[in-house]
A and B are shown apart, each in its own frame.
Chain A
Amino acid sequence: MGDPSSVATFQFGGLTFNAANIYSGLIAFVLVFLFVFALSRHITMKPGKGQNILEWLIDFTNGILKGSIPGNEAGAFGLYGFTLFLFLFISNQLGLFLQIAVGGKDFVRSPTSDPIVTMTFSLATLMIAQFAGVMKFGWKKHFSGYLQPFVFWLPISIFEEFTNFLTLGLRIFGVIFSGEMLLKIIGNLAFSHGIATMIVAVPLELVWQGFSAFLGAIQAYVFVTLSSVYISKKIEIGE
């Protein structure tokens, strides 16, 4: 992983695709959809088990959004926050129990252990933030925010957007990527010298998997939280 030779690619419509990203991404999307679909059957006034879990999740992500976006505006980003949280969470956990590599090339792993995937989402967040700012204040007022507190601040403002984009995407990538890397190294260790190393490696692997599951949940939460912070910054200019 991380090594270019471990990436299987294919061409389609003039674009190059990363097979691992496509397969694992598809699996994550399908898992998220099945999860939500299974829990959202039989929606009633008196919630059943599945509906309770789903309502709790919706309240949870809405709570994250409302924590930084003031007033009623958080409602507009509820669906984005909810889907983003679920997808990142399941993506982060996917690689912990399902990693498929054929002939030294990865096919299924955490989609979020690829910086391209995470930066796609960070780009989406920042685009939504810009869009929300323009929708609320209009082009002129929105972009004049870059000149605050004074005109010469412009390069710093632009640079800040860029670093926001990079750090938001790379933070989650770093944590998940390193987690899976270490899992793989421990796995290799287990099979390196027969029984002796296996006995040492199995508890290590267990501990690290547990920790990675925890980190994956935290990172999904952090991503959604920071997304809402960036969005709220753009719709609070000049207030």
Chain B
Amino acid sequence: MFSHLAVASSLAIGDMLFYAICFIILMWLIKLVAWKPINQMMQDRADKISNDIDSAEKSRDDAAKLAKQRQDALANSRQEATGIVDSAKKQGQQQRDGILAQAQTDAQALKDNAKKDIEQERQDALSSVRNDVADLSIEIASKIIQKELNADDQKALIDSYIEGLGK
């Protein structure tokens, strides 16, 4: 081995130069062909993955926000619906009360009118009956008695009877 080394030492410079230069050329070629593009790609991939993670995080946040919004909207609409139903109920109650009251007053008015009419009728009937009875009784009396009885006296007499009947 040592003899080999001794001989080699006389060869050394040429081989060393050859290897050094070839190695540098090889390094340069590998850099050109593989090292740069692959490292670039690895960097791109790392960036893409971290971007993906970020965007996934973001979309998860968005989804959570949307879900919360929907939840809120749901609760809100439920409340609103309850309000609407309540107000409708109240309005209905009011309307019912109003209609009822109206009906009551109408009925009362009708009743009053009817009473008044009846009273009127009665008065009319009474007065016409009074007149008729007076005339009739005069006729009857004049026929029966055939006596000269003053019509006015007769009427006064009949009236007093009728008064007694009306009470």
Contact = CB atoms under 8 A, between A and B. Distances in A.
Interface of A: 2-4, 7, 9, 12, 15-18, 21-22, 25-26, 29, 32-33, 36-37, 39-40, 43-45, 47, 51, 54-55, 58, 78-80, 82-83, 86-87, 111, 114-117, 119-121, 123-124, 177
B16 A12 contact: no
7 tightest A-B CB contacts, nearest first: A15-B14, A40-B34, A4-B7, A17-B14, A120-B16, A120-B19, A2-B4
Q: State the main secondary structure of chain A at its contact with B.
A: helix
Q: State the main secondary structure of chain B at its contact with A.
A: helix
A83 B18 contact: no
Given A43-B37, A80-B27, A120 B20 contact: yes
B80 interface: no
A7 B20 contact: no
A7 B19 contact: no
Contacts of A117: 15, 19
A120 B15 contact: yes
Given A21-B18, A58-B35, A79-B31, 18 more contacts: A4-B4, A9-B11, A16-B10, A17-B15, A22-B18, A33-B26, A33-B30, A37-B33, A40-B33, A40-B38, A51-B41, A55-B38, A114-B15, A116-B12, A117-B15, A120-B15, A120-B20, A120-B23
Nearest to A36: B34
B3 interface: yes
Contact of B30 (A2, A36, A45, A55): A36
A45 B48 contact: yes
B136 interface: no
A18 B11 contact: yes
Interface string B33-52: 11101110110110010000
Interface of B: 1, 3-5, 7-8, 10-20, 22-23, 25-27, 29-31, 33-35, 37-39, 41-42, 44-45, 48
Contact of B3 (A4, A12, A16, A58): A4
A45 B51 CA distance: 14
B18 to A, nearest CB: 6
A58 B48 CA distance: 20
A119 to B, nearest CB: 8
A54 to B, nearest CB: 6
A82 B30 contact: yes
Nearest to A9: B11
A124 B14 contact: no
Contact of B23 (A4, A37, A83, A119): A83
A58 B35 CA distance: 8
